[in-house]
Amino acid sequence: MAILVTGAAGFLGYHLCESFLRDGKTVIGLDNFSSGQHCNIARLMKDHPNNFTFLAMDVQDISRWKSGDVATWNLDLICNLACVASPPLYQADPIQTFNTSVLGVINLVKLAQTTRAKLFHTSTSEIYGDPLVKVQSESYWGNVNPTGPRACYDEGKRAAETYLSMARDTLGVDVRIARIFNTYGPYMSANDGRVVTNFINQALDNQPMTVYGHGEQTRSFCYVDDLIRGFRLLIDSDYKYPINLGNPTEFTISELVDKVAALYSAQSGESYIANISLKELPVDDPMQRCPDITLAKTLLGWEPTIDLDTGLKLTFEYFAKLKAGDTE
């Protein structure tokens, strides 16, 4: 039996493929490289030549596959990680972003029906929008601007959850839905545009760190290994409803600046005081983001084990190697 992973060239897609492949699974990766990295696919093909196959394709085009061809794959699991997740990137082509979430899920539901495969979908904490509650549980409906600049991603993910819920209840599709909070770690794209990669690369380049607003907004940062472990536990569980996966420890953006600056000083041996470049807070940028992971703890026995200092050190070392020309 085989596993299909859409978004396989992306940050999380790569790590999930690698996790399955290390366990001896057969994986078919799919990506259109809208934000994924060719080097991630090359690494998977090099390290797992007998178990990994790659298709350069948009998840919106899956409907073109012939059912007879799909049947030969013997899929027992479909993992949907397709969709650009970085605000600068998803806002650059909002219609494509929305269609990837919505049309992509419609196609994958059809594929799951054809193959009778379990369908695991990565949703997002962005469905909570700019929350009006300090800690967001799965029962919170959110505070989302349906026509703002972030809506293409937020509302696309919300619509995908709606469709999956209908597919579960009316079509009997075996779904799993993970609501992901901020995640970071090695093999993120250097041009990802999110705060951890921005700060680390700006520090390595001796550039001012770009802070939007005054740095008082909060985020909860989960190291990628913890998240992938959560994915695997959710996939193997019987729970068919949305569940939060993220680190419940909250930090301000200003605190993250200080941590990255301290890492640079420790790694380089040079005293480093971060220069800050303040910019206007983007429209609808959330002021707080913190998951309630009670369900994950109770149902999956999952919670993060890697603290921010440890995870940032591993991530900083990865990007420092990239800067030095080490691509492995």
Ordered by where they begin, the domains of the chain are 2-186+222-247+290-305 (3.40.50.720)
pLDDT at residue 62 in the model: 74
Q: Which residues of 169-206 are buried (b: 16+ CB within 10 A; e: fewer)?
A: eeeebbbbbbbbbbbbbbbbbeebbbbbbbbbbbbbee
Summarised one tens digit per residue, pLDDT across range 26-79 is 999 999 999 999 999 999 999 999 999 999 999 998 766 665 566 677 899 999
Burial of residue 109, with CB atoms counted within 10 A of its CB: 0-12 exposed, 13-18 middle, 19 or more buried: buried
pLDDT at residue 274 in the model: 72
Active site residue 153: yes
DSSP string spanning 259-271?
Answer: HHHHHHHHHHSS-
pLDDT at residue 312 in the model: 98
Instruction: Identify the three-state secondary structure at position 148.
Output: coil
Q: Among 218, 180, 211, 203, which Cα is nearest to 280's?
A: 211
Active-site position among 14, 128, 153, 184: 153
Residue type, 65: W
DSSP string spanning 200-242?
Answer: HHHHHTT-PEEEETTS--EEE-EEHHHHHHHHHHHHHS---SE
Please say whether the beta carbons of 194 and 210 come within 8 A.
Answer: no
Ranges of the chain whose pLDDT falls below 50:
none
